[in-house]
């Protein structure tokens, strides 16, 4: 189930990136990967609460490790950060790291908060 979820998540991340490229055009800033990480973190936060309250924790390997693990990608995050660093754009690299981490944690917190409001 993890591998199946991972295949779906990775495919969705690819499609997300392709859609972003079509919508925004080429960009030096890796916005598609950052937004995938934020969205995936939000969904993970929401799933944690819903799964616990609805008895769906058995889906965690498929959803959290596979699907959302495949969709969010901190390996690509690391690569994009180093690409910015190697280009000499240290400010953009710092901004990318701060926004990616801060917004992803914020997305997870928002997902937890909203999901708890729904199931509580």
Give binding residues as ranges.
69, 72
- Mark the binding-site residues for Na(+), compressed into ranges: 69, 72
Rg, C-alpha atoms of the chain = 15
Dihedral angle computed from the Cα positions of residues 99, 103, 105 and 107, in that order, rounded to the nearest 10 degrees: -160
How far is Cα of residue 41 from the mean position of the Cα atoms in its chain? 5
Distance between CA atoms of 4 and 54, rounded to whole angstroms? 23
The 3-state DSSP class for residue 1 equals coil
């Amino acid at each position: 189930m993890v591998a199946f979820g991972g295949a779906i998540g990775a495919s969705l991340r690819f499609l997300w990136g392709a859609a972003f490229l079509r919508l925004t055009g080429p960009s030096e800033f890796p916005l598609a990967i950052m937004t995938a990480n934020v969205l995936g973190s939000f969904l993970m936060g929401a799933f944690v609460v819903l799964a616990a309250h609805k008895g769906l924790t058995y889906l965690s390997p498929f959803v959290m490790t596979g699907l959302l693990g495949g969709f969010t990608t901190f390996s690509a995050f690391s690569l994009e950060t180093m690409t910015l660093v190697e280009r000499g754009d240290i400010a953009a690299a710092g901004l990318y790291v701060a926004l990616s981490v801060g917004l992803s944690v914020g997305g997870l917190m928002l997902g937890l908060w909203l999901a708890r409001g729904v199931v509580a």
